[in-house]
């Protein structure tokens, strides 16, 4: 299970992740753990997982390239607990939207597989300001 902790120092927030490998991170005190950031992953056929291992993201991408004639099950999603999420579709189409309907949806086209994986990880780890800074077109 991926655990994402948000730490707060006097001047900046830092996100530390643990995704199945040991990481040693040195930092100066005082730091205070303020909350666990969570996310949901929605598989192509509707299964949902909370805080799934980020290592499954390539497997999920493989699934959207199968059965291209299936018009009902066309995407996978990574939804951050703040209700912002990435929808990923065949051919490198990526949508960014608030699932509760706040804000304007945006999208990217022809995104490489490597970039899609990075965007999914950003959504999962709560790097929302980085996602907001991406070059996105308005609407779907």
pLDDT at residue 38 in the model: 83
Q: How many residues does the chain have?
A: 140
Give the structural domain span for 78: 39-138
Say how far apart CA 31 and CA 9 lie, in whole Å: 5
Confirm whether 107 is domain-assigned.
Answer: yes
3-class secondary structure, 12: coil
Sheet (strand 84-89) strand order = 48-50, 39-42, 75-80, 84-89, 93-98, 106-108, 137-138
* Count of structural domains, the chain: 1
Full pLDDT tens readout for the chain, 140 residues? 344 444 444 444 444 444 443 333 444 444 444 444 588 899 998 888 988 898 999 999 999 888 888 888 889 999 988 778 889 999 999 998 888 878 888 999 999 999 999 999 988 888 878 888 888 888 88
Confirm whether 69 is domain-assigned.
Answer: yes
């Amino acid at each position: 299970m991926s655990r994402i902790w948000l730490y707060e120092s006097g001047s900046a927030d830092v996100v530390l992740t643990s995704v199945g490998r040991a990481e040693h991170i040195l930092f100066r005190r005082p730091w205070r753990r303020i909350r666990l950031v969570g996310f949901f992953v929605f598989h192509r056929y509707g299964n949902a997982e909370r805080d799934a291992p980020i290592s499954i993201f390539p497997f999920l991408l493989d699934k959207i390239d199968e059965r291209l004639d299936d018009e009902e099950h066309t995407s996978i999603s990574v939804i951050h607990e703040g209700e912002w999420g990435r929808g990923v579709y065949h051919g490198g189409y990526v949508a960014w939207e608030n699932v509760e309907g706040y804000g304007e949806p945006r999208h990217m086209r022809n995104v490489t597989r490597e970039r899609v994986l990075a965007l999914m990880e950003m959504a999962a780890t709560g790097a929302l300001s980085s996602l907001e800074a991406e070059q996105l077109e308005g609407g779907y």
